[in-house]
């Protein structure tokens, strides 16, 4: 059993990781963390954040894999591909809070993941 989680070094990414850890504990599943680089990402800061992710997963005692995706690829495709390749049973993503007008339309990546994912999707907000 595998859970795929989309991670960025943001409050939403942290919330998604926390939810994935909780779900993996309940389901005795391993986690595949998909990290998509964004334009302008500081490589050293990204490496530090990935080390934090590995520490968090080691503390939880879960099996995991961290996949760092190529810059410029589509985040939704990265997550959907990882779910298909691993036979995942769940995808976990973090959502940003939106203004009343913004609530009419989800972010394009979140919307694509929700509509095109081969598995159920757990969408969480940060606190």
Residue 71: predicted pLDDT: 66
- Range(s) of the domain holding residue 50: 2-125
Residue 65: predicted pLDDT: 97
Over the chain (127 residues), the average pLDDT of each successive run of 10 is: 93 95 96 82 80 95 91 84 97 80 62 93 91
pLDDT digits (tens, 9 = 90+) for 85-115: 999 999 999 988 765 555 455 567 888 899 9
Reported as half-sphere exposure (CB side, CA atoms, 13 A), residue 100 has a value of: 0
Structurally, the chain folds into a number of domains equal to 1
CATH number for the domain harbouring residue 75:
3.40.50.620
């Amino acid at each position: 059993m595998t859970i795929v989680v989309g991670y960025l070094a943001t409050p939403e990414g942290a919330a998604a990781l926390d939810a994935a850890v909780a779900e993996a504990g309940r389901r005795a599943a391993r986690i595949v963390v998909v990290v998509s680089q964004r334009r302008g990402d500081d490589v050293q800061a990204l490496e530090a954040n990935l080390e934090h992710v590995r520490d968090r997963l080691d503390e939880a005692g879960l099996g995991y894999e961290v996949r760092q995706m190529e810059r410029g690829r589509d985040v939704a495709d990265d997550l959907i591909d990882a779910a298909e390749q691993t036979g995942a049973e769940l995808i976990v993503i973090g959502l940003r809070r939106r203004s009343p007008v913004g609530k009419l339309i989800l972010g394009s990546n979140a919307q694509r993941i929700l509509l095109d994912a081969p598995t159920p999707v757990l969408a969480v907000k940060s606190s």
